[in-house]
Amino acid sequence: MDLHELHGVGVGRSVAVGTVLRMPDPIPEPPVTERNGDAAEENDAVTAALAAVAADLTARGVKAGGPAQEVLDAAAQMAQDPMLAEDISTRINDGSTGERAVFDAFHTFQKMLTDLGGYMAERATDLGDVAQRTIAHLRGVPAPGVPESDVPFVLVAADLAPADTALLDLNKVLALVTRDGGPTSHTAILARAKSIPAIVGVAGALDLADGTMVIVDASTGAVIVDPDSDQIADAQRRIEERAAAISAPITNGALADGTSVPLLVNLGNPDEAPGAVELGAEGVGLFRTEFLFLGAQTAPSVESQQASYTTLLQAFPGKKVVVRALDAGADKPLAFLTDAHEENPALGLRGLRVLRVKEQILRDQLTALKGAQDATDADLWVMAPMVSDAEETEYFVRLGRELGLNTVGVMAEVPSLAVLADQVLAVADFVSIGTNDLTQYTLAADRMLGSVASYQDPWHPSVLRLIKMLGDAGNAANKPVGVCGEAAADPQLAVVLVGLGVTTLSMTPAALADVRAELATVTLEQATARAAAALGASTAAGARTAAASV
């Protein structure tokens, strides 16, 4: 087969050159055979295998630390899920072998999650991994995992289990290429956090043979197969430029003419704060509070919330910290807020809409934030997600002020809010643009759906024009308008955003160095010219090219 270039969704911006090493094939499906042995013995063996797998995953988590630990702990919890254990035991008692019972029970559960779609469907892969590890343990064979090699390689797999991604040896794995997975799969999340170039959702990935030379270009989502020497030289140059950018001294974000563009970070847990400060975070542009409570069955108390927020704020003395009120719904259901079944959850009762219905939960959260504001000397800003217009803005700002918060604003994620930006900025202290959702809603493309991933491109001129409306309104009202979606982590787009009037950029900490380096290469005049060129394009690809040619 002639494979010159394969395509998928790039994660991060970096490039790698190396030879392919394929992940070993998964353990084959256990046959459906009659159980010969004793049910009690088989049950005991499965219980022991599940416990061993859980312990192994937990131990790997402790070794990995950070976001990887959360992923591995969640996988360990799956191995100890009582519902699954009961299902397995029932199957064994009904005559199944232990291996087959594990396979069937996990498979049923996996299917249930897949049918739920979105965030839940992406967790289904994790379940499959736990099942494979358990079956391997029962068979006494090694668990499936990343291959060993003496030389660095590009890892190619159908998909990576969280346990594998979390523990990747960064000295050995140059890049990841997977056939499955979308931009929000664990492979993507962990690759981004570890700054490994990755391309997910690559059809044909498994046709790449071991030893094939490839260039993995995450910025374009292309895997170049058997590149020529010019292509390799170009990739090497980009790798060196990036290495230089990353090792450059940490300074505050600024353009070449000295225009300040504060570089902030997106966090989901106070534990991530010290690492972000080390990478030069000038504050927090988005703290996703719902990540603290994804597993909670009941609403968290004011006291426990206040403790978490205080820990976060203490990591940023004198700095700006933007905390977002709970953004529940769609791919992030919270048991205590979202219970209704919806056909189109992204268009449903989510974000501020559900907080307004359950106002006491919102009041408790804002009260906890006020407590943290008073207990620390960070500059706390609070904002609401999924806000549609000035009336909703007014509701949230009024409540925030009533409860004593100093600075209250809203996210721009729904196009209607951008269209009415002047009205919104007359009421809010600031606006922060969530480009992930703004793109999803502007292009009417579910951000969790791989089949429409190509629409999920914040370079689309329609999205850029909405951002310009927000930037202009912020400028006219003399109020800050930041960006906290993934778009801010794309260095070329970050320049365009500044040219559109955006005043701060907030991103995953791993992206800070690249964005800082790119901003330093342009003046405000040049950024504005690039923005104007991008606005005139008719497609996302056209906007990229237009901005680059200025």
CB nearer to ligand PEP: pick between 20 and 464: 464
Point out which span in 189-197, 232-240, 358-366, 428-436 binds ligand PEP (CB under 6 A): 428-436
Give the Cα separation of 347 and 118 in Å (integer).
Answer: 13
Q: Which residue is nearest to Mg ion (CB)?
A: 437
What is the rounded CA–CA span in Å between residue 396 and residue 383? 8
Q: Does 351 bind ligand PEP (CB under 6 A)?
A: no
Which is closer to Mg ion, CB of 97 or CB of 432? Answer: 432
User: With binding defined as CB under 5 A, does residue 457 bind Mg ion?
Assistant: no
Cβ neighbours, 10 Å, residue 25: 9
Q: Which option in ligand PEP, Mg ion, none does residue 56 bind, with CB closer than 5 to 8 A by kind?
A: none
Q: Which of residues 269-328 bind Mg ion (CB under 5 A)?
A: none
Query: Any contact of residue 356 with ligand PEP (CB under 6 A)?
Result: no
Q: In the stretch 464-503, what mask flags binding to ligand PEP with x, by CB under 6 A?
A: --------------------xx------------------
Q: Which two structure tokens, joined as six digits, stand for 464? A: 């850029």
3-state secondary structure labels for all residues of 320-345 = EEEEECCCCECCECCCCCCCCCCCCH
Selection from Mg ion, ligand PEP, none that 7 binds (CB < 5 to 8 A by kind) is: none
DSSP 448-478: T-GGGGGG--TTSHHHHHHHHHHHHHHHHHT
Q: How far is the CB of 332 from ligand PEP (least distance, A)?
A: 7
Tell me which of ligand PEP, Mg ion, none is bound by residue 99, counting a contact when its beta carbon lies within the kind-specific cut-off of 5 to 8 angstroms.
Answer: none
- Give the three-state DSSP class for 483: strand
Q: How far is CA 436 from CA 30, 442, 469, in A?
A: 41, 10, 17
Radius of gyration of the chain measured on its C-alpha atoms: 24
Nearer to ligand PEP, 183 or 197 (CB): 183
Indicate which residues carry an active-site annotation: 186, 484
217 binds ligand PEP per the rule CB under 6 A = no
Cα distance between residue 359 and residue 368, in whole Å: 14
Helical pair 491-499 and 540-548, crossing angle rounded to 10 deg: 80
Backbone angles phi, psi at 268, to 5 degrees: -125, 0
> What is the rounded distance in angstroms from the CA atom of residue 150 to the CA atom of residue 241?
26
| Contact call for residue 437 and ligand PEP (CB under 6 A) | yes
Of 436, 442, 503, 508, the residue at the interface with ligand PEP (CB under 6 A) is 436
CA 343 to chain centre: 24
Q: Does 434 bind Mg ion (CB under 5 A)?
A: yes
Cα 235 from Cα 120, distance rounded (Å): 37
**Choice between 327 and 392, CB closer to ligand PEP:** 327
| Binding flag, residue 434, ligand PEP (CB under 6 A) | yes
Work out which of 56, 437, 486, 514 binds Mg ion, going by CB under 5 A. 437
| Nearer of residues 154 and 382 to Mg ion, judged by Cβ | 382
Residue 286 binds ligand PEP, judged by CB under 6 A: yes
484 binds, among Mg ion, ligand PEP, none (CB under 5 to 8 A by kind): ligand PEP
Number of residues written out for the chain: 550
Q: Which tokens in the block code for residue 204?
A: 């044909």
- Using the rule CB under 6 A, is 327 a contact of ligand PEP? yes
Q: Are 465 and 439 in contact (CB under 8 A)?
A: no
Print the binding letters for residues 385-424 with Mg ion: x by CB under 5 A, - otherwise: ----------------------------x-----------
Instruction: Determine how β-strand 504-507 pairs with β-strand 9-11.
Output: unpaired
- Pick from Mg ion, ligand PEP, none: which does 505 bind, CB < 5 to 8 A by kind? none
Segment holding 333, helix H or strand E: none
**Would you tell me how many other CB atoms lie within 10 Å of the CB of residue 71?**
25
Write out the residues near ligand PEP by the rule CB under 6 A: 286, 288, 327, 413, 434-437, 484-485
Write out the residues near Mg ion by the rule CB under 5 A: 413, 434, 437
